Amino acid sequence: MAGKLFGTDGIRGVAGEFPLDARTVFAFGEALGEDIAAHGRGSEALIGADTRESGAWIAATVAGGLRRRGVRARYAGVITTPGVAWLTRTGPFAAGVTISASHNPYQDNGIKVFTHSGFKLPDEEERAIEEALLRLRDEEPEPHPAPLAVDEDLNRQYLEYLRATVLVRFDGVRLGLDCGHGAASRLAPELFRSLGADVTTVGAAPDGRNINLHCGALHPENLSRAVVEHGVDFGVAFDGDADRAIFVARSGRVVNGDGVLLAAARAWKAAGRLAGGTVVSTVMANLGLERALEREGIRMIRTPVGDKYVLEEMVRLDAVLGGEQSGHVIFREYATTGDGILTALKVFEIARLAGAGLDELTAGLEVYPQKLVNIRVRRREGLLRHPAVEREIRRAEEALAGSGRVLVRFSGTEPLARVMVEAADAGQVEAFSESIAGAIREAQGA
């Protein structure tokens, strides 16, 4: 059994099918247990899950593999991915595991791993665990899940920490929360109500199969309508595991991670908190954000897509603020990963202290037309080096030199080639994105 199992955000697939069949999941638990022992990190690991119906059996199967290698698992039940990261970093855990496929539909699931530092596994450690997993999968044909009882105190600890990160209360503030029927469904409303906010929720009734279904961070248009209709001050939509947040201004305008980075960078620079005058984002950040930050005297550094790469660069530069357009925002003073609920707390705190709304906080952000085309692929080898594909990419780059960007890459979590074109001229964006996508489809057919 060959092939890279870890993508940019852990292992992901259809629950019950390779690599998320019971035998492989059990072998993963064993491989992680071996890795924990090899690094001398202790003998206890944390497991949490989002609301998918497959989460419980995957968690129990991982725990069984860990137990086979002498590692005890504590189970937080339904909790956010950043909640697992924080608890792993601050608790007695050698590693933390989240069972989640983030923004994907309920049929999918995934396994994300954090070291005791709260960081996602470095690439070389992922490769070592993957090699061990494939070996152990062949050696151990029968998985043996471990019974798990939910430790409710873990969620309480995480909420207490989040509450302690804010300097203000939100009395009198009307908030709309779309929890995507995911991991934030209980935690986020409870937290914001405890801070005095008047909270209206949508997407907060998970049934195991409705996670991300026409709601949450991938569908902020629903929350946008609700914010305008009900006169809500702020809206925020989370994805399934709540590591990302997309906002809605009182006007109904959607504010993504680019807008959050601009608002936070301005506020933190003014307060003398923006170390090095630098913000870290990815190759997907809109050119408009980069230019808006330049006007503020703030430098933006780009990394490959994936919040683990953003965090690595933040550590290297000692930067305190970074994130992705998709809504993963890292406030490094408080967290080692994107945390949607924490991001909402900090954005609302900034707005409260400034006496302003999201429209005012993101003023001056000119969003350049940007189109992303996804092409399902059967293979990756040589596809982007095909002469016709290279020719179309080169033609677009030459035409947009200085006034736009072209980015062509493979998804780290799905069998997709992604074509992104961004420019001031919407016509050029449309034409070049389709011509490059067409070349990839033809090359794949050939």
Show which residues are catalytic.
102
Burial class (CB in 10 A: 0-12, 13-18, 19+), 297: exposed
3-class DSSP state for residue 239?
coil
Q: Which two tokens stand for residue 137?
A: 């999968």
**What is the full DSSP assignment across 78-105?**
E--HHHHHHHHHHSS-SEEEEE--TTS-
Sequence-ordered list of residues with C-beta below 8 angstroms from that of 317, at least 6 positions apart, any chain: 276, 278, 280, 301
* Dihedral (CA of 167, 234, 265, 186) sign: positive
Sequence-ordered list of residues with C-beta below 8 angstroms from that of 42, at least 6 positions apart, any chain: 36, 92, 93, 94, 116
**What is the full DSSP assignment across 212-224?**
TTT-GGG-HHHHH
Beta bridge partners of 236: 177, 247
Angle value at C-alpha 441, between 435 and 443, nearest 5 degrees: 100
